Amino acid sequence: MPSVMPKLQVDEIQGNRLIAALEPAGRTRIERHLQPVEFKLGAVVCEAGGLLKHAYFPQGSVLSLLTVLENGSAIETANIGREGAFGLFAAMYSRVSFNRCLVQLEGDMVRCPIALLQSEFRDSEHVRNLFVSYSETLLSQVQQTVACNSMHTTEERICRWLLMMHDRAQGKALPYTHEFLSHMLGANRKSVTLAAQAMQTAGLISYRRGKIQVLDRPGLEEASCECYAIVKERFDAFLDPPASAVQGDTKGRNRKGAKPESR
């Protein structure tokens, strides 16, 4: 169970981009109901199929969404930092969680009752647009992760994952073992260990007693596949208004020179 702390004062609430993007009136209504919560590393926020009563907004922590299979194995399909929230689908459609959600990086986090967010989603076009925009962006991370896990090497995938965590941890050492990485990536433990040793030999990271420190950030970015940059770009841009989107361009990123489909 999480440790629930007293409600924050409005001027203490900061650090989550999704909350900051709300219009002032809606943000004020929501902020009155936010409660800071504390979870330990690896704690389960909600199980797959569980009923959600709150949405969770990281302000320094990172949440991991895991797809759980019938035999009990699980693999990470997305993670959520201060750019978003866990539980917005419950505010829009269904209160049942599709994934297991656990704490991947300890840090500040607040929660908000689902019932309040459902009311805001129903009554505010701005909230609807914001929540749907974020949900589409989170889905794009899921899709990119699926492609990455299928097509790229273990070392490239570790680089992608560490870069994402390094962004959220703001340069701090990451408290992860090789076994934990193998679970997150759905990779063989031995292949993770060999890849991590190669990265350490190359001077990209250091690893000691379950702590990973990024030593060469540019080198890590170069060693990563394109998936890290693609996902980061999407999240950096998701709060832009819809008018900023390119209209009438159906060629796509990887079809240069292709003609648009006929209507």
| DSSP states along 161-189 | HHHHHHHHHTTPPB---HHHHHHHHT--H
pLDDT of residue 20: 92
Q: pTM of the full predicted structure?
A: 0.82
34 has pLDDT over 70: yes
Least reliable range by pLDDT among 12-16, 171-175, 196-200: 12-16
User: Which domains, from first to last, does the chain contain?
Assistant: 3-143 (2.60.120.10), 153-224 (1.10.10.10)
Which residue has tokens 């709150």? Answer: 54
105 has pLDDT over 50: yes
d(CA 125, CA 133): 12
pLDDT of residue 261: 47
C-alpha torsion angle, residues 169, 171, 173, 174 (rounded to 10): 40
78 has pLDDT over 80: yes
DSSP 8-state secondary structure symbol assigned to residue 208? E
For residue range 206-256, list pLDDT tens digits in order. 998 888 999 999 999 999 999 999 999 988 888 664 443 334 444 544 444
Contact of 68 with 48, CB cutoff 8 Å: yes
The mean per-residue pLDDT over the stretch 52-74 comes to: 92
For residue range 114-168, list pLDDT tens digits in order. 999 999 999 999 999 999 999 999 999 999 999 999 999 999 999 999 999 998 8
For residue range 158-195, list pLDDT tens digits in order. 999 999 999 888 778 888 888 888 888 888 889 999 99
d(CA 198, CA 106): 28
pLDDT band at 61 (very low <50, low <70, confident <90, very high): very high
Report which of residues 86 and 168 the model is more confident about: 86
pLDDT of residue 2: 66
